[in-house]
Amino acid sequence: MNDSGTERPLGRSGISVPALGVGTNRWNTGTSDQVRFTDTLAAALDAGMGFFDTAEIYNEGRSELALREAARQDGRPVLLASKFAPFPHRATAAQFGWALDKTLERLGRESLDLYYLHWPHLPRSVAAWMKAMASAVKAGKIRAVGISNCDVAQMRRAADVLARYGIPLAANQVQYSLLHRTPEIDGVLDACRQMDVALVAHRPVGKGAIGASSPAGSGRTALADTLREVAAARSATAVQVALAWLLKRDDHVIPIPGAARPGHVRENSGALSLELSEEEFAAIDRVSAPVPGADASNAVSKSAR
Ligand SMILES: NC(=O)c1ccc[n+]([C@@H]2O[C@H](COP(=O)([O-])OP(=O)(O)OC[C@H]3O[C@@H](n4cnc5c(N)ncnc54)[C@H](OP(=O)(O)O)[C@@H]3O)[C@@H](O)[C@H]2O)c1
């Protein structure tokens, strides 16, 4: 599917990706699940969602390996994004280069479509890591540069450093779902619009809670009821409605629901053709409205990465 309605630009990088991708943080090797991962990748490509998100830290590199094997078995081209982990013991450009080379090796690629700084962490600032990113772009190892879990100030610093090398900041990957609308109140969504940077939404279905009868366990039954009502009226599912809402919220948003089974990918892809009405959008907006001051940080704990 290459129809412009189902693709979105990674900022001003010149690269377009499917409007919905696939998160692979639960993919692993050494299990009998490889067939399921390969089928999941094939379902994603069939549905026009061939944009896969991984990271060196997901199952200690085994998500990248499982992704490589699935892509090898399928044979069709895929768009791949991975992430550099700025652990405290990593402080040099050489360590960055070594980590990137290992990721490329595990993925069986000479270059990545998108490479993120996974989270901001001292001792090296976001700006310092962006210099290493710029070198990797010049070396042809990365097509586009992203950051993740960064606030507006960090976005601006990253973009400023990259601009010195003539490279646009392509994406900020942050948690964003109907259960976590923080990017609307901490300024990240507005900054993505102003700076023309993609907001890649991780955890877009609340780790599967969105489809449950009471998202997040309690206190969101109005949201669950509204999603169910809209879904019933549109012969869709609650997850499809939730993803369609994120897609309609802003053209810069690219959700990457995690999926390790083809049925989930096929279901999620239904959101690409589900155009919510203004009334449906507003009804869901009301019952999921973010509360300023309640959770206004994009900082994540290690377990959330
Ligand atoms: N940058 C960061 O710090 C960061 C943090 C978290 C995640 N991420 C990335 O973002 C991706 C998505 O986040 P996430 O996986 O944590 O959360 P998520 O996408 O909100 O939820 C994934 C969970 O929902 C389930 N699911 C998917 N589609 C479903 C459907 N249609 N119906 C019911 N359940 C469904 C999945 O099941 P199955 O797995 O069984 O298919 C999985 O258990 C990750 O895979 C990762 O690539 C990045």
33-91 pLDDT, tens per residue? 999 999 999 999 999 999 999 999 999 999 999 999 999 999 999 999 999 999 999 98
Residue 122 banded pLDDT, cuts 50, 70, 90: confident
pLDDT in tens, 232-262: 999 999 999 999 999 999 999 999 999 999 9
Question: Which pTM was predicted?
Answer: 0.95
Residue 171 has pLDDT above 90, yes or no: yes
**pLDDT tens-digit map of 277-289:** 999 999 999 999 9
Q: Contact 55/27 with Cβ under 8 angstroms?
A: no
Q: From CA 183, how far away is CA 201, in angstroms rounded?
A: 10
42 within 8 A of 279, measured Cβ to Cβ: no
Question: How far is ligand 1, taken at its centre, from the CA of residue 34, in Å?
Answer: 18
Which pair of tokens denotes residue 195?
Answer: 């700076």
For the Cβ of 121 lying below 6 angstroms from any atom of ligand 1, the answer is no
- CB of residue 260 inside a 6 A radius of ligand 1: yes
Kindly state if the Cβ of 23 falls inside 6 Å of ligand 1: yes
AA identity, residue 238: A
Closest CA to 56 of 23, 21, 83, 26: 83
The whole-number pLDDT of residue 213 equals 63
Contact criterion met (CB below 8 Å) for 84 and 115: yes
Element (H or E) spanning 173, and its range?
A: strand 169-175
Q: Ligand 1 centroid to 175 CA: how many Å? A: 11
Nearest CA to 176 among 195, 144, 199, 156?
Answer: 199
Q: In this structure, are residues 1 and 273 in contact, taking their beta carbons and an 8 Å threshold? A: no
Residues facing residue 114 across a β-bridge: 81
The 3-state DSSP class for residue 120 equals coil
- Model confidence at 3, pLDDT cuts 50, 70, 90, reads very low
